[in-house]
Amino acid sequence: MSARKQKNRIELFKREIHLPDCQPDKNGKPVALVYPDSYEVGMSSLGYLTVYRYFVEAGFKPERFFFNIRNSNNVPISIETATTLKKLQTIAFHFSFELDYINALKMLIDSGIETSRKKREKSGGHYLIAGGIASTANPLPLIKFMDAVFIGELESEYVNQIENACFDGDTPWFVSKEFEDSNGDYKVRQNQNNNWASSSSFSPIITPLSVFSMANLIEIIRGCPVKCKFCLAGNIRQKISERSLNLILEDAFRHENESKKIGLIGAIPSLHSSIMPLLENLIDKGMKPSLSALSVNSLKSPLLDLLAKGGMKTLTLGVETFDETVQRSVGKIIKLDGLLNRVEYALKSGMREIKLYLMLGLPDAADNEESLLIERALEINKIAQGARPGSRTTISLNPFIPKIATPYERKSFMGEKTFRKKVRMIRTQLAKEGINVISESHRGSFIQNLISCGDEVIGDIILRLAIGDSINQLRNSLPDDLDAYLKETASKVSKTILRN
């Protein structure tokens, strides 16, 4: 390992703050815990950090691996000891996003680990398991690579099964070999952690080098009452649960000597029934809370006042569409007057930026949907500049991506030429008024759609992307009628995974 790479790894580790009661047992069984994205992103994932804590509590000695932590030979190494991935027999991946599948295979290839599950079985090689919301929704693209995939919300009792790979009986483990041998009769139930609301939720490790620098992340609500038809987070868990005010406050002060930053996590944490007393309590004690997401319809003036008082500078809202017909179809109705009022009030309360997430290509959207988007964005920016001259308005554009386990799983994905033309028009018109427009790559979104709604056929595509082929090189390898294939796979997944 080069001195520079070793120094970077050591510096990252030294700047971390570990809670004393979340330290791994030095004599515990080693396991690799992989987040196949950057260290900065992985250490901002409460899901990943919670899995780490569960492994520690179960007596394992997890070593954390990230896509960008490597030695001088470009081999992935652990943040704790610089151990290479290949030296650990059991490797657990946490998948928050579908594109991470590609990074995961790249890490295996760069580590000299066989990606084929069948070849590893013959040679007695590494044991690969996976979990996370992406693989819970659809584990089929991972069949050729992973030995088992946990479906649903992890609990400590299931962590203990990993040691002996004991996934027999009625467990939420999707076992790839058993699925392939079942001739279509294989079933697996999705786990819902019914004890979650009475358990702890916090960051066992904080660092200034994560996206949410030095923030103690606390999940306060699970599930979403809105259940937008396109949203995986809102549909994959049917039951809505929230943790009590007292329990949240117990976890909120675990890192108070090192940091005052608190990240309140949930599909829409502003819908927690005690959100006002929670924020008041935290702010009164000198903490600086922020919310991972906000619902326009739950944003009353007192809540905006508290968020501004707590130091929040950017109001970020998922609007998705301004078309009322599409809003009704999707199940997310946002009145324009209400949105404009909240934008104005937020900026007058001390916030400095408005950021809106919008989608193009939602089902039932008009062919000229970009015209209405431009008109509404200009109205919002006019209100924003009137409320706080010099404030910033940002529009984030994404193509609608069908997701398995949602009501829109069989809908179609917008073509690249259409998306790029719409984005170009929106960006050109809004730039004249100083509105910042950012957009997702259509090609990245296309790959995400393939992985989200594909099966083992797409597994071959993922591997070739990991090796270095471009998606354009692989288009001839895709099913001829891609739309029909993806819809058929959705039916296949729904027969295999028994949702709650």
| CATH (domain of 79) | 3.40.50.2300
pLDDT at site 381: 97
What does the pLDDT average to over 358-383?
Answer: 97
In a domain, 166, yes or no: yes
Q: What is the pLDDT of residues 400-419, one digit of tens each?
A: 999 999 999 999 999 999 99
Does the pLDDT value for residue 3 go beyond 70?
A: no
| Same domain? 332 vs 476 | yes
In terms of Cα–Cα distance, which of 386, 390, 414 is closest to 402?
414
Q: How many domains does the chain have?
A: 3
**Contact indicator for 404, 499 with CB cutoff of 8 Å:** no
How remote is the C-alpha of 309 from its chain's centroid? 28
Q: Which pair of structure tokens corresponds to residue 212?
A: 């949410």
Burial of 123 (0-12, 13-18, 19+ CB in 10 A): exposed
| Same domain? 480 vs 414 | yes
Q: What is the pLDDT of residues 81-134, one digit of tens each?
A: 999 999 999 999 999 999 999 999 999 999 999 999 999 988 888 999 999 999
pTM assigned to the model: 0.94
| CATH (domain of 472) | 3.30.750.200
Q: What is the pLDDT of residues 123-169, one digit of tens each?
A: 888 999 999 999 999 999 999 999 999 999 998 778 877 766 666 66
* Domain final residue pick, 308, 340, 361: 308
In a domain, 378, yes or no: yes
pLDDT at site 473: 92
In a domain, 480, yes or no: yes
Burial of 380 (0-12, 13-18, 19+ CB in 10 A): buried
Q: Which residue has the tokens 């890192």?
A: 255
Does the pLDDT value for residue 9 go beyond 90?
A: no
In a domain, 349, yes or no: yes
In a domain, 197, yes or no: no
Residues 6+ apart with CB under 8 A from 310: 279, 282, 283, 287, 288, 289, 290
In a domain, 207, yes or no: no
- Rounded to the nearest 10 degrees, the angle between the axes of helix 482-496 and helix 442-453 is 40
**Contact indicator for 324, 333 with CB cutoff of 8 Å:** yes
| Same domain? 377 vs 412 | yes
Q: Which domain holds residue 107?
A: 3-189
| Same domain? 241 vs 339 | no
DSSP 207-251: -TTSTTTT-EEEE-EES-SS--TT-HHHHS--S-EE--HHHHHHH
| Same domain? 488 vs 366 | yes
Q: What is the DSSP-derived secondary structure letter of residue 197?
A: G
| Same domain? 280 vs 397 | no
In a domain, 45, yes or no: yes
pLDDT at site 165: 64
